Structure 1
């Protein structure tokens, strides 16, 4: 009987040992699986964060490239007291100072920290790109406003020349040596008047339409001025000819002394 008890006790001990071993093996496998899953999850999150950060950084570099081009193109095309280009320059410099975080590898914790850093960087990149775009919009608006001001000035200059030409035409009716100069001047005045009406109708958020109209207005100003000058020159020639006619029509030898009456007959 004692022998049987000893055998049963040994069997129980063996069973317990086996159970403990199995439990340890299962625990080890479980911990290993958990660590493997955690590492895989951390790597996936890091890769996703890196992809987002890379996209944001690419958008930032694109914004910087476009902003630099706009900064160069807008030189001399905004009002002297406008600060939009200075603001754009500051935004571009801030964006250019940002860099992409270095690639990360290592422990699960290091990957998790790296993913957080990338997510933070993506937000910074996006904010910097948005700042550049906002500053660029203000520069474009300033360019449009400046172009409109220049166009209005060109329009007013043309109006002044048209008014002068109209007066010249009014004062020289029938008093030119070449009437074709008046015809040409009148045509220039009519075309300029129509162009002034077109200028008043120009609108939009881009500077180009105002710039294009400014060129036309400036050209028309030169044409009206030149045409009016030809009328004035033709009038001067007519006046000179009329004076010559008047001089020629005076009696020959009339000295104003009364001729023979002065000396007696």
Structure 2
């Protein structure tokens, strides 16, 4: 059971396990980067000049992308502390997934384009889940109010697509397996946090691939858990600043339910 006295809104979609306000549109913080990574993965793996569909043209993993002053952004990531001026598309995607690097994200958005990202989201059946802007620190009144918005129902469905055995999905699942933040939903899921090798189902032990988002008053986590069975999830939380940890504890309780379900 979810705690009855949560100090905010918790939206949960774990198909076959738990649903709670799954259709509420909420800010996603860095979970919105999953949409960007989805389009990049499509562009890297799908053949043809149009990148295999409605998103856009083929991408080359080894293509170098210069980091411009406009890309640099504080918050999560490492690039603002490193003397790196150019990275490949593949390296930028890896940094975006593993450490949620904001500068890498902005460079990829500039290279790929928001329209292409959202076109891919629409093609995958996402109606309310969109990236609205680049990452900004700080976000000012003249900017879109948040980086991305979406619903737990749509994001758990996206996790299910990512867990499918398609080339783009397997690439993206591998990026998510390297995520360094397991403090939310996976915290009570017994797994090896350093196991970034994509596991098949059934698996002798539990395995997690995920993407998180953290902002003031926002905590989000979307992922895939594999064990005796596969469980895909999306948990989104919004609250007043200062109440985030109470929401995280509720997210961890959902993770415990997921662990039981995935263990079979």
Superposed pair shares fold, TM > 0.5? no
Q: 1 or 2, which has the higher strand percentage?
A: 2
How does the TM-score come out when normalised to structure 2?
A: 0.21
Structure of higher CA gyration radius:
1
How does the TM-score come out when normalised to structure 1?
A: 0.21
